[in-house]
Structure 1
Amino acid sequence: MIARTALAAALLWSAVAGAAEPIHLRDMGSFHVGGRIVELSGQPVQDIVRIPGGPTSKLDPNGRYQVEQMYAQYFLVQNPKGKYPLLMWHGGGLTGATYETTPDGREGWRDMFLRKGWDVYVSDAVERGRSGFASPDIWKSQPLFLTQTDPWERFRIGPGPGSFDPDPAKRKLLPGNQFPTEAFDAFTKQIVPRWLSTDDAVLAGYVALVDKVCPCVLMTHSQGGFFGFRAAEARPDKIKAIVAVEPASAGPADKAAALKSVPILEVFGDYIEQDPRWVAYSKIDLAYLDAVRAAGGSADVIDLPKVGVKGNSHMMMMDRNNREIAELISKWLVTKGLSDP
């Protein structure tokens, strides 16, 4: 675990207006892990103007580049109740902002779990956010960029194709939807490019983080679930539990026996059947859990509609009832002996 003595009692104030109590920290900070050096040669030297109106200068792209590192930020509570750090890993096309303040300004899961006594690490995966990305001379494939339409339809905010409209008043919603739709445009400001050819680098970054700060508990979302299960298979002795929020996906069940000593919880929102992609992912996820159980492991599922929690989108950590879901997850962690009540 990272430790610094210079900051004895940092205070992180909640972004929620009217919150009565600050969050008391013993430390906070950030770092990068992993990565590699790549050297380019034979590239043409260019004449460029770095600042409008400034002089022309030479840009020589030949040389050594640091690439594929991963950024992480940590918040260590004054009086921890969690037995291990909680690592929060985001989904595809997103960053660690997923777990911070919600798009409509409410408290996110990062702060909720800090209040529950967990040391929390929030990271931006390799290729995302403050981790940075490599040039096309190093990563040959093209990045993908999401339209505003895509998450509205695919994240089960609207009822599939044709439900998004540039005019917010004309956007169609699934019945009882919990996403703060008035802040949807603010949510899409979090979207960043992602690549299809960097999975090995992303996984290497996550494993480097595990090696640095764990033993720990993983909380993953969507594509982050795929990397979470792979990292746990590579380091099963360092992962004390996995909370996988709608993982996309848990991956091949023939690897699941490696996690027979790792308690797993998967959480699913509402309207999974609305999109064949989520139906397919959930089948893979549940088959993986069956394989964990067959190997003698512990694997639980919270299907939110089946426990009376309805209307949740794929972005349930941002939904209006995100606190209710955080409570369910927290109770599960307590039952597994990973946190004091």
Structure 2
Amino acid sequence: MRPIAAALSALLLAAPAAAQEIAVREIGSFHIGGRTVTLEGLPTQEITFTAGAPPFRYDPNGQFQVEQMYVQYVRLANPRARYPLLMWHGGGLTGVTWETTPDGRAGWQMAFLRAGHDVYVSDAVERGRSGWARFPEIFPTAPIFRSLAEGWHLFRVGPADGWNPDPAQRRAYPTTQFPVAAWDQFGKQSVPRWVTTDPAIQAAYNALVQRVCPCVIMVHSQGGNFGFNAALAAPDKVKALIAIEPSGAPDPARADAALLKDVPHLVVWGDFIEGHPLWTRLVPNVTRWQQAITAAGGRADTLDLPKEGIPGNSHMLMMDRNSDAIAARIQAWMDQRGLMR
């Protein structure tokens, strides 16, 4: 894309919401994937569904639909992007990641709609509106939950010893871009997650690709591995993959990176990774996968925000105060890769 056009695209994407109207053709949703499971031999229970209602004999046996995934789409009247954009969230989160920032600003769903993309936002298997299943009868383990304190350091808003239950006593990184006053509001987005459902999640994502693609996939955190593997499973349908701080990647010794030589990749990293006990171990695995794609003749770019002179971004950089500017840089990359009309 010509430099002037790229600059204009970035300017438009970063413009205030009130300055841009979009014409929407359709808003809808569907569930995809999943399987039917039959449960037998469980004891019945007498329950009351609502206060004042008569008791009801509940039978937990029978056939149940499980491991489905919820997908919401917004289609534009005149999209400027060649392909729809699929947005996949991270662990313990839902599609809310992309919708609205915790401090009330428009999220990346709206940013990329304004940039001209049809957008599909999903809740992975066992999250949000996808629902979860009985355990241990169907899911073999119980869910895990993320505390506010764990997220504070894991998502690199502040140091581990900077956490305090009292919001007034919390210590964030001095240059953090995360809207710290909205941290507890962000915590309300957290949902239970399982560590034994990856195959079901991958199957649902692969089914989504088969249904709506060709497409561009944008993934975050835990969603990284699912996106990389979805591209490997359907390299003819995935036209580009944008990984926002992916927490994992395929092993080049076990996966054929050459399959992705025609699928451009962009990996985006925020700040405060150096010295972090977890992220310093995660990043090299992703870099190794990028190098394998490049060695196979493909393209795997990196947008390292601190190295670009943009400090302070957390793991949740789509929620950071400069999220519009980062979205603009990602959009410019898509312009350059020929993904727009």
Same fold? TM cut 0.5: yes
Q: Residues 157-215 of structure 1: CA distance to partner in whole angstroms, max 9, x if unpaired? A: 002x2211111111111121000011111100000000000000000110111111001
Distance in 2 (CA, whole Å) between partners of 1:224 and 1:281 is 14
Identify if the C-alpha distance between structure 1 residues 30 and 18 changes in structure 2 by more than 3 Å, giving closer, same or farther: closer
Distance in 1 (CA, whole Å) between partners of 2:331 and 2:156 is 24
Identify if the C-alpha distance between structure 1 residues 18 and 216 changes in structure 2 by more than 3 Å, giving closer, same or farther: closer
Report if aligned partners of 2:20, 2:114 keep a CA contact under 8 Å in 1.
no
Q: Secondary structure at the match of 2:129?
A: helix
CA RMSD across the alignment? 1.3
Larger RCO (alpha carbons 8 Å, 6+ apart): 2
Distance in 1 (CA, whole Å) between partners of 2:277 and 2:285 is 12
State whether structure 2 residue 171 is matched by structure 1 residue 172. Answer: yes
Q: Which amino acid aligns with 2:217?
A: L
Q: Secondary structure at the match of 1:79?
A: coil
Q: Residues 35-79 of structure 1: CA distance to partner in whole angstroms, max 9, x if unpaired? A: 000000111111112222321111111100000000000011122
Q: 1:216: how far off?
A: 0.3
Q: Secondary structure at the match of 2:314?
A: coil
Structure 2 counterpart of 1:322: 323
Q: Which amino acid aligns with 2:174?
A: P
State whether structure 2 residue 30 is matched by structure 1 residue 31. Answer: yes
Distance in 1 (CA, whole Å) between partners of 2:309 and 2:23 is 34
Structure 2 counterpart of 1:145: 145
* Structure 1 unmatched ranges of 5 or more: 1-15
Distance in 2 (CA, whole Å) between partners of 1:336 and 1:318 is 25
Report if aligned partners of 1:156, 1:274 keep a CA contact under 8 Å in 2.
no
Q: Secondary structure at the match of 1:162?
A: helix
Q: Residues 285-331 of structure 1: CA distance to partner in whole angstroms, max 9, x if unpaired? A: 01000000111111100000111111000000000000110011000
Q: 1:235: how far off?
A: 1.0
Q: Residues 96-118 of structure 1: CA distance to partner in whole angstroms, max 9, x if unpaired? A: 00001100011110000000000
Q: Residues 130-167 of structure 1: CA distance to partner in whole angstroms, max 9, x if unpaired? A: 000001121120100011101111111002x2211111
Q: Secondary structure at the match of 1:72?
A: strand
Structure 2 counterpart of 1:204: 203
Output aligned runs, 1:282-297, within 5 Å.
282-297=283-298
State whether structure 2 residue 334 is matched by structure 1 residue 333. Answer: yes
Distance in 1 (CA, whole Å) between partners of 2:166 and 2:275 is 23
Q: 1:18: how far off?
A: 7.0
Residue identity (%):
55
Q: Secondary structure at the match of 1:19?
A: helix
Output aligned runs, 1:255-274, within 5 Å.
255=255, 256-274=257-275
Q: Which amino acid aligns with 1:141?
A: T
* Structure 2 unmatched ranges of 5 or more: 1-14
TM-score (normalised: structure 2): 0.93
Q: 1:126: how far off?
A: 0.4
Structure 2 counterpart of 1:75: 74
Distance in 1 (CA, whole Å) between partners of 2:23 and 2:170 is 41
Q: 1:253: how far off?
A: 1.9
Identify if the C-alpha distance between structure 1 residues 293 and 21 changes in structure 2 by more than 3 Å, giving closer, same or farther: closer
Structure 1 counterpart of 2:9: none
Structure 1 counterpart of 2:281: 280
Structure 1 counterpart of 2:162: 163
Distance in 2 (CA, whole Å) between partners of 1:269 and 1:175 is 15
Report if aligned partners of 2:125, 2:201 keep a CA contact under 8 Å in 1.
yes
State whether structure 2 residue 303 is matched by structure 1 residue 302. Answer: yes
Structure 2 counterpart of 1:123: 122
Q: Secondary structure at the match of 1:210?
A: helix
Q: Secondary structure at the match of 1:64?
A: strand
Q: Secondary structure at the match of 2:18?
A: coil
Task: Name which of structure 1's ranges 45-54 and 235-244 shifts more when overlaid on structure 2.
Answer: 45-54
Q: Which amino acid aligns with 1:212?
A: R
Q: Secondary structure at the match of 2:106?
A: coil
Structure 2 counterpart of 1:10: none
Task: Name which of structure 1's ranges 127-136 and 22-31 shifts more when overlaid on structure 2.
Answer: 22-31
Output aligned runs, 1:186-225, within 5 Å.
186-225=185-224
Q: Which amino acid aligns with 2:270?
A: G
Q: 1:81: how far off?
A: 1.0
Distance in 1 (CA, whole Å) between partners of 2:107 and 2:314 is 15
Q: Residues 222-259 of structure 1: CA distance to partner in whole angstroms, max 9, x if unpaired? A: 00011101111111111000000010112212312221
Identify if the C-alpha distance between structure 1 residues 314 and 144 changes in structure 2 by more than 3 Å, giving closer, same or farther: same
Distance in 2 (CA, whole Å) between partners of 1:173 and 1:257 is 42
Q: Which amino acid aligns with 1:162?
A: D
Q: 1:17: how far off?
A: 9.1
Q: Which amino acid aligns with 1:267?
A: V
